[in-house]
Structure 1
Amino acid sequence: MKKLLSLMAVMVLIAVSNCTQIPENNDPILGIWSKLPTSIIEKQENIEREEWIFNDVYLGRYRRYSQQQVSLETDFKWSKEDGLYTLDYTAPEMPVHLVKLNRDGTPEKLEEVTGAIFAIRE
C-alpha cells in the first residue's frame, strides 16, 4: 500500500510540474538603454555614461561609467502600470524613477513624466 501511495504521489508531482508554464515577457522595454549628455558628447572629455539593462523577469542592472570605468553598479526591479514604468533600485542613493516609453521616433526613447529624455535605446 505504501508503494502505491508513493507512486501516486510521484505521478501527481510530475503532472503538476509539467503543467506549469512561465509566462513569456515581450515588453518593448526589454534591452539596453543609455544616457550620454549632449554637452559631454561635444567636448569628448570627462565622459559620463549611464546604462540600464532590462530583462524579462522584471529585473535589471544599472551602471554609471566615468572615464570609461564603472563608478556605480546596482540592480533594480521594474514594473509597468498604466503605461508608466517604475524603476526601483537596490542602491539607497538612487531614487525611484517613473518613465514612459516613446516609440514615435528612431531611436526609441524613455521619457520622464515631465517629458525630458531619460534614456535612448541602444
Structure 2
Amino acid sequence: MAICAIIFSANCSRIEQNNDPIIGVWFQSGTEIIGGTSKSTLRKEWIFNDVYLGRYHEINGNDITLQTDFKWSKEDNIYTIEYRGLEDVPTIKFKMVKTEEGSILEKIDGNYLAIKE
C-alpha cells in the first residue's frame, strides 16, 4: 500500500513542460539622436522563460537604465506581459507573427514590438 501511495504522489507532482515558441530572448533596438549630433543606441530586451516569468532590460549604450521582472501569459494566440513593480508601465498585449526573416512580436494595434535573437 505504501508503494502505491508513493507512485500516486509522484505522478501527481509532475511539472508540465512548457515549450512555447516565445521562450528565449527577444529584442528591439534603435538609435536616438541626442542634442542634434550625438547618437545613442537603445536596446529593449525581453527574456521569456518556461514558467511564465521573464526579465526586461533597457540598455542605453553600455548602461542598463531599466531592469525589471515580468509575468507573461497566453490566451488564444494573444500574449500578455504584466510588469512587476512598475505601475507607470502598462500591460502589453501582442501576438507572434511569422515572416520570411523569422518570427516577430507584433502589438495588437499592428506596431512592431521585437524580434527573436
- TM-score between both structures, scaled by the size of structure 1: 0.81
Indicate which of 42, 47, 53 corresponds to 2:47: 53
Post-superposition offset of 1:93: 2.5
Partners of 2:15 and 2:106 in 1: CA distance: 30
Indicate which of 78, 94, 103 corresponds to 1:99: 94
Partners of 2:16 and 2:91 in 1: CA distance: 26
- Are residues 1:116 and 2:114 paired? no
**C-alpha distance 72-104 of structure 1, shift in aligned 2 (>3 A):** same
Q: Partner letter of residue 116 of structure 2?
A: R
Partners of 2:101 and 2:38 in 1: CA distance: 24
Q: Partner letter of residue 52 of structure 2?
A: Y
Uncovered stretches (5+) of structure 1, i.e. residues with no partner: 1-6
Instruction: Give the structure with the higher percent helix.
Output: 1
- Are residues 1:15 and 2:31 paired? no
The structure 1 segments of at least 4 consecutive aligned residues displaced by more than 6 Å after TM superposition are none
Q: Secondary structure at the match of 2:102?
A: coil
Identity score, percent: 40
Partners of 2:22 and 2:61 in 1: CA distance: 27
Q: Partner letter of residue 49 of structure 1?
A: R
Partners of 1:68 and 1:15 in 2: CA distance: 52
Aligned residues between the structures? 112
Q: Partner letter of residue 19 of structure 1?
A: N
Partners of 1:119 and 1:44 in 2: CA distance: 25
Partners of 1:24 and 1:104 in 2: CA distance: 27
- TM-score between both structures, scaled by the size of structure 2: 0.84
Which is worse superposed, 54-63 or 104-113? 104-113
Between Structure 1 and Structure 2, whose CA radius of gyration is higher? 1
